[in-house]
């Protein structure tokens, strides 16, 4: 009772300075979002699409007006504290969604502003679930924005702002962590952000070239081949799963295209620290790292489960065909990309419960930490398994024995209880988020397996759909998936901080 009273009195109402700090940095991020809209505007002009170009100019102007007003009204030279940094991140993501949806809504390809917001959050959160209407006639500019927003969101909206607009290193680190990047590649967080962008841009250039050449070899027109190449790279490397055509990867009818996208998806699912190690010549780290090992094991297990499921019901007439379809979908699910070479409905009608379960688990587990992928993440799974091993050893070995558990993640580490607790906490939060989404789906009358599939896909930022995500789905479900995508991408802490901030504003003293 005494503690409760103490805690209640501990909650402090946010002060004007808190609001100023939050407003100032959110404004800077909005300016960044506004400026990025000039890229699709340029593409609109390049491809002779004046109205789409105007859509982006309108979006950019609104973002810049709000951003400039916020930075002026809330001007401050103070650095951010932890709470402010987290709130800035979660609020900025919502603001980016609201502003980024404007050009999409103006195009007329989305039924409502909510649908456009859904699409934008799906893009920024690198999910890939889509509510677009008549995608095959969408302009180059709007199509580019869907993919470019994935590229920005995958690297991190805040990471881009850190590269260009933020000077204070301490506040920058708090925002960097708030955007679910708890590891620095380099000692300085701003240098880390710049490295992340360097890696991404180098891969962008190389992959666009490769995909463009493959596209041309497949019979596509050169301009289309390179445009598709850039879009597909952005959505594959940032594990978003959008594609410029409604058939997704099935549009290309090409094994080579599938092989290249698998490689890009795996690159996107790799920890940026591992990229750094490879770039600096330390290739052995890949084989020693706990994340890579767990990822390999889980991919193998999930692929096996999926294959057994597919062969049980005879989904595919030949083993090689089954391997190709199964492998692509499993890699896409595991890397949380969401690219598909089958139609959404086929997951339910053709794949059977066991194969679907394998795919759901692959989506739920996700890939590496400090990558563009979503889901629980391999590092957490590795830590939990190691923690379990440690506890078992404690039970089996004599009481006086000192039990040490090691793991290798970039360096040799001794497992600490607090690491296990943190990993378990986030894992439980993800499981709860998956469950809540599935319950909401069932509330709207969808079957359990379909609801769970779509919920996990949204919360783990995957983007594979079994057919629930459609423009005519209930508004409540659209809102649920938006929240799932947002919370899943930010890995909860910033969202919890925002909720805490509002609670403090109401209940604090």
Check if the beta carbon of residue 49 is closer than 8 Å to that of residue 141: yes
Q: Rounded to the nearest whole angstrom, what is the least distance from the CB of residue 449 to another protein in the complex? A: 17
Which of residues 56 and 151 has its CB atom nearest to another protein in the complex? 56
DSSP 218-245: TT--HHHHHHHHHHHHHHHHTT----SS
Residue 182 interacts with another protein (CB under 8 A): yes or no: no
Q: Rounded to the nearest whole angstrom, what is the least distance from the CB of residue 258 to another protein in the complex? A: 8
Q: What is the distance between the terminal CA atoms of the chain, rounded to a whole angstrom?
A: 19
Residue 188 interacts with another protein (CB under 8 A): yes or no: no
Residue 428 interacts with another protein (CB under 8 A): yes or no: no
Which of residues 229 and 437 has its CB atom nearest to another protein in the complex? 229
Q: Rounded to the nearest whole angstrom, what is the least distance from the CB of residue 320 to another protein in the complex? A: 8
- Binding-site member from 46, 136, 202, 425 for another protein (CB under 8 A): 136
- Binding-site member from 10, 13, 61, 263 for another protein (CB under 8 A): 61
Residue 48 CB neighbour total at 10 angstroms = 8
> What six digits make up the tokens of 237?
């490397």
> What six digits make up the tokens of 351?
């794949």
Which of residues 44 and 488 has its CB atom nearest to another protein in the complex? 44
Which of residues 47 and 496 has its CB atom nearest to another protein in the complex? 47
Residues 205-224 that bind another protein (CB under 8 A): 218-221, 224
Q: Rounded to the nearest whole angstrom, what is the least distance from the CB of residue 318 to another protein in the complex? A: 6
Q: Rounded to the nearest whole angstrom, what is the least distance from the CB of residue 244 to another protein in the complex? A: 8
C-alpha dist (Å) from residue 215 to 95, 228, 260: 36, 8, 11
Give the whole-angstrom CA distance, residue 384 versus residue 386.
5
Residues 431-490 that bind another protein (CB under 8 A): none
- The stretches of 313-377 forming alpha helices (DSSP H) are 319-334, 344-349, 352-365
Residues 140-159 that bind another protein (CB under 8 A): 140
Give the whole-angstrom CA distance, residue 33 versus residue 362.
32
Residue 20 interacts with another protein (CB under 8 A): yes or no: no
Residue 54 interacts with another protein (CB under 8 A): yes or no: yes
Residue of 209, 199, 332 lying closest to 263 (CA atoms) = 332
Helix (H) or strand (E) holding 395: helix 378-396
Residue 246 interacts with another protein (CB under 8 A): yes or no: yes
Residue 316 interacts with another protein (CB under 8 A): yes or no: yes
Which of residues 82 and 327 has its CB atom nearest to another protein in the complex? 327
By three-state DSSP, how is residue 350 classified? coil
Which of residues 44 and 178 has its CB atom nearest to another protein in the complex? 44
- Binding-site member from 187, 317, 398, 445 for another protein (CB under 8 A): 317
> What six digits make up the tokens of 446?
């969808």
- Binding-site member from 57, 308, 422, 479 for another protein (CB under 8 A): 57
- Binding-site member from 193, 315, 367, 419 for another protein (CB under 8 A): 315
Give the whole-angstrom CA distance, residue 340 versus residue 463.
9
Q: Rounded to the nearest whole angstrom, what is the least distance from the CB of residue 302 to another protein in the complex? A: 19
- Binding-site member from 19, 35, 38, 62 for another protein (CB under 8 A): 62
Give the whole-angstrom CA distance, residue 500 versus residue 33.
26
Residue 382 CB neighbour total at 10 angstroms = 25
Residues 88-127 that bind another protein (CB under 8 A): 106
Which of residues 332 and 405 has its CB atom nearest to another protein in the complex? 332
Q: Rounded to the nearest whole angstrom, what is the least distance from the CB of residue 475 to another protein in the complex? A: 22
Check if the beta carbon of residue 283 is closer than 8 Å to that of residue 333: no
Residue 72 CB neighbour total at 10 angstroms = 11
Over its C-alpha atoms, the chain yields an Rg (Å, rounded) of 23
Half-sphere exposure of 274 (CA within 13 A, CB side): 25
By three-state DSSP, how is residue 409 classified? strand
Residue of 375, 355, 373, 356 lying closest to 365 (CA atoms) = 375
Residue 341 interacts with another protein (CB under 8 A): yes or no: yes
Residue 13 interacts with another protein (CB under 8 A): yes or no: no
List residues bridging with 411 in a β-sheet: 409
Residue 38 interacts with another protein (CB under 8 A): yes or no: no
Q: Tell me the residue length of the chain.
A: 509
Contacting positions for another protein (CB under 8 A): 47-52, 54-55, 57-58, 61-62, 64-65, 68-69, 72, 106, 136-140, 218-221, 224, 245-247, 250-253, 255, 315-318, 321-322, 324-325, 341-343, 345-346, 349-350
């Amino acid at each position: 009772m005494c503690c409760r009273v103490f805690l209640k009195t501990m909650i402090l109402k946010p002060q004007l300075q808190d609001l100023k700090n939050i407003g100032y940095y959110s404004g800077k991020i909005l300016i960044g979002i506004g400026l990025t809209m000039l890229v699709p505007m340029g593409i609109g002009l390049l491809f002779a699409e004046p109205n789409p170009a105007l859509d982006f100019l309108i979006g950019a102007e609104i973002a810049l007006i709000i951003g400039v007003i916020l930075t002026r009204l809330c001007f401050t030279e103070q650095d951010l504290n932890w709470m402010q940094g987290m709130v800035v991140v979660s609020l900025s993501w919502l603001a980016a969604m609201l502003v980024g949806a404007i050009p999409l809504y103006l195009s007329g390809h989305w039924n409502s502003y909510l649908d456009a917001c859904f699409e934008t959050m799906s893009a920024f959160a690198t999910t890939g679930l889509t509510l677009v209407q008549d995608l095959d006639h969408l302009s180059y500019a709007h199509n580019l924005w869907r993919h470019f927003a994935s590229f920005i969101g995958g690297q991190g909206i805040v990471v881009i702002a850190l590269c260009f607009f933020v000077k204070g290193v301490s506040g920058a680190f708090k925002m960097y962590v708030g955007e679910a990047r708890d590891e620095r590649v380099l000692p300085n967080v701003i240098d880390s952000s710049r490295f992340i962008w360097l890696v991404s841009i180098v891969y962008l250039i190389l992959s666009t070239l490769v995909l463009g050449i493959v596209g041309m070899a497949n019979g596509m027109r050169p301009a289309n081949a390179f445009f598709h190449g850039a879009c597909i790279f952005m959505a594959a490397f940032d594990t978003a799963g959008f594609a410029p055509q409604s058939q997704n990867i099935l549009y290309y009818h090409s094994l080579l295209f599938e092989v290249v996208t698998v490689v890009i998806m795996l690159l996107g699912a790799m920890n940026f620290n591992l990229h750094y190690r490879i770039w600096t010549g330390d290739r052995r780290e890949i084989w020693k790292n706990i994340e890579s090992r767990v990822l390999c094991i889980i991919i193998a297990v999930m692929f096996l489960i999926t294959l057994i499921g597919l062969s049980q019901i005879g989904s595919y007439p030949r083993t090689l065909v089954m391997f190709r379809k199964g492998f692509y979908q499993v890699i896409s699910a595991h890397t949380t990309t969401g690219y598909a070479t089958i139609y959404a409905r086929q997951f339910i009608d053709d794949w059977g419960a066991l194969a679907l379960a394998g795919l759901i688990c692959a989506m739920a587990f996700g890939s590496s930490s400090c990558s563009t992928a979503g889901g629980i993440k391999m590092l957490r799974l590795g830590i939990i398994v190691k923690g379990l091993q440690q506890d078992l050893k404690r039970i089996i070995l004599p009481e006086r024995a000192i039990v040490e558990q090691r793991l290798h993640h970039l360096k040799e580490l001794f497992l600490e209880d607090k690491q296990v607790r943190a990993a378990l906490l986030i894992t439980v939060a993800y499981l709860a988020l998956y469950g809540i989404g599935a319950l909401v789906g069932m509330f709207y009358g969808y079957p359990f397996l379909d609801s769970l599939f779509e919920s996990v896909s949204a919360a783990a930022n995957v983007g594979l759909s079994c057919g629930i995500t459609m423009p005519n789905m209930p508004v409540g479900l659209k809102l649920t998936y938006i929240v799932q995508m947002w919370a899943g991408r930010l890995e909860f802490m910033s969202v919890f901080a925002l909720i805490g901030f509002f609670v403090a504003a109401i209940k604090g003293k």
